[in-house]
Amino acid sequence: MALLERHPQKRLGFRVRIAIKVTQHHVRDVAWIPEETGMGRVRENQGCYDWLVRDQRDALWLLQSIAPYARTKARQVLLASQILERTVRTYDDLRAVAQMADTLSALNVRSRGKRQHSAAMIQELISRND
């Protein structure tokens, strides 16, 4: 999933982050993953258990590692990798990455209708400051 976060320490005031989440009903199905990979953590979420990787370097490594094997989520893996590899120096860069984040959210069936205003938030901020 792609997240647009306000971040006052960033020069542009925002950052786009990628989080990788695997959800299972039983904790045993995800509990071994952080131990095996050395990445992420397991959290309980509404009766299910999520393995969540938020570290951006770990996320990029993981995406690059699974990319050759991804079939159903291949477009998401590619787009998330492109977001992580892109350097954001200007508002145009930030707007482009936010649009990519919106596209990534739209590809996730459960995210439809959620978090799809990233590019609009950036545009609104830029318009106010012009």
Rounded mean pLDDT of the chain?
Answer: 86
Q: Which of 61, 58, 121 is nearest to 95 (CA)?
A: 121
Query: pLDDT by residue (tens digit) across 59-93?
Result: 999 999 999 999 999 999 999 999 999 998 888 88
User: What confidence tier does 105 reach under pLDDT thresholds 50, 70, 90?
Assistant: confident
Q: Is the pLDDT of residue 119 over 80?
A: no
Domains of the chain, residue spans = 2-19+54-129
Q: Is the pLDDT of residue 128 over 90?
A: no
Q: Which of 6-15, 28-37, 84-93 has the highest mean pLDDT?
A: 28-37
Around 19, how many Cα atoms within 13 Å sit in the side-chain half-sphere? 16
